[in-house]
Amino acid sequence: MNQQSLKIGKRSFILSLSVLLALMILAAVLSYALPSGLFDREILEGHERVVTGTFHLLDKPKIPLWRILTAPFEVFLSDDAAIVGIILVFLLLIGGSFTILLSCGMVARLMDRITKRFHESRYRLLMLISLFFMLFGSVFGIFEELIIMVPFCIALARRLGWDSMTGLGMSLLSSGLGFGAATINPFTVGVAQQLAGLSAFSAIGLRILIFATVYAVLQLFLLRYVKKIEKNPSLSPVFKEDQENPVSYDLTYPPGVDRGLKIFGFGLLLLPAMLIAGFFIPALSSVLFPLIALLFVVLSFGSVLISRVMTFGEAGKAFLRGMAGVAPAVLLILMAMSIKLIMTRSLVMDYLLYQASSRFEGLSAVGGMLLLYLMVLLMNFFISSGSAKAFLVLPLLLPLTDLLNLHRQVAVQAYLFGDGFSNLLYPTNAALMIALGLSAVSYPKWLRWSLPLQAVLIALSIGWLFVIHLIGPGLF
């Protein structure tokens, strides 16, 4: 039995740690330098929302400087404690479970079969997998829940002769861009349309066109990249990291692996069923994240034990080894989540929101449209939840867009663009940090690799906003 394990590399860990530490220090500087204040809040239909016109300055809370260093651990005492706990348990369970499948040869066997079947049409396979992830993000609003598939896509990409970055591109990147190019995503489109007083499926034709253009841009980006590293693998930004874990092509498999793979594959069919069911059943949606992790644990242990590929002791050791391998990512996620805590406990978040919203006065319609987009883009750094951000930002800005003669559909789309694509840009997004923690890719390398695509997406977003504004209410 081999000792393969899912783990974050030392180089990747140190680079990511450095970036997050710098961002924590910046957040601390802002928390001391900016005035403190709050908007009043109200609960409407179970959601907290800002009451416009109620911002008031407050005395700055006296927070000792040393609490910057303890902020990552104080996250467990904040309002986000429950979701942070779920995220960390999810990461550890996935790391442990996937290592079981790696250790018994099941992952290698699955990738071997896929590459033999699709090697001649691997570009088409890349485009289809990417479309699958984009559709789930766009239609069902599923982003974090698909992280479970990231290690499989990385393994597949490497077996096809590409790299770990490509695996993240066909899974994480595709899912995130689908979330941003939302068509009927209930967590962003649904909430924003409701707050704007628009019908749930208005402008669906427009959003399908937006989805198509984003998909085309993503495929051009991915195909250009994989063809480049096929010609010269050393051009991969993670070439050294991938070399530390070389892919073996001359493999032998213990008896029972094929049977175990069938058991695991059959059980994994429950995953899309759960994701789709969560779209229709709110109660299931709220517990979907831990349920997916539990499913993966049960399937990994069950498939190797029933097929007798591993004993329970061997599987348990592999599971613990996998948890230890991804454990450093726990600190990275806590540091990322602490940036919001540093800003909110010093009461400067609402001040930033107030200052941004007040800048709308005296702007032209086009200027207001661009400022709305940039404002949501900025707020997404601190508040990654799409629906929470909608309840925070849109009640403030929709009346202002009316004064600027902007159609509310323009405001909704500006919010969707500002919220969605930058989920893949900011280290404060837990889903991004989990996915990187399951790979050999550091945050700085991910940032350098994806920045050109993000620049194109920003230009595309602004272009579409201009088109929507020029067409006017007749489109809706």
pLDDT in tens, 385-398: 666 777 777 777 77
The one-letter amino acid code at 348 reads V
Which segment, 10-24, 140-154, 218-232, 370-384, is predicted with the most confidence on average? 218-232
* Cα gap 107→104, rounded to integer Å: 8
The one-letter amino acid code at 115 reads T
What percent of the chain lies above the pLDDT cut of 70? 92
| Contact status, residue 476 vs residue 203, Cβ threshold 8 Å | yes
Q: Which secondary structure element, helix H or strand E, spans residue 43, and what is its range?
A: strand 41-44
pLDDT digits (tens, 9 = 90+) for 209-220: 999 999 999 999
* Coil vs helix vs strand at 362: coil
Q: What is this structure's pTM?
A: 0.81
Calculate mean pLDDT across residues 30-59.
82
With vertex at residue 86, the alpha carbon angle to CA 100 and CA 342, rounded to the nearest 5 degrees, is: 130
Listed range (23-32, 42-51, 161-170, 410-419) with the worst mean pLDDT: 42-51
Q: How far is the CA of 432 from the CAs of 144, 145, 370, 389, 435, in angstroms?
A: 8, 12, 26, 18, 5
For residue 357, report the phi and psi dihedrals to the nearest 5 degrees: -70, -35
pLDDT for residue 86 is more than 60: yes
pLDDT for residue 340 is more than 80: yes
| Contact status, residue 357 vs residue 396, Cβ threshold 8 Å | yes
Q: Specify the pLDDT at position 444.
A: 92
pLDDT digits (tens, 9 = 90+) for 364-379: 878 888 888 888 888 8
401 Cβ contact partners less than 8 Å away, ≥ 6 residues apart = 368, 369, 372, 408, 410, 411
Q: Specify the pLDDT at position 8.
A: 65
Q: Specify the pLDDT at position 174.
A: 94
**In 3D, which of 168, 175, 156, 166 has the Cα closest to residue 214?**
175
The one-letter amino acid code at 444 reads P
Q: Specify the pLDDT at position 65.
A: 85
pLDDT digits (tens, 9 = 90+) for 420-468: 888 899 888 888 888 888 888 889 999 999 999 999 999 999 999 989 8
pLDDT for residue 182 is more than 70: yes
| Contact status, residue 312 vs residue 406, Cβ threshold 8 Å | no
The one-letter amino acid code at 428 reads T
pLDDT for residue 248 is more than 90: no
Both structure tokens of 319: 């599971």
Q: Specify the pLDDT at position 45.
A: 63
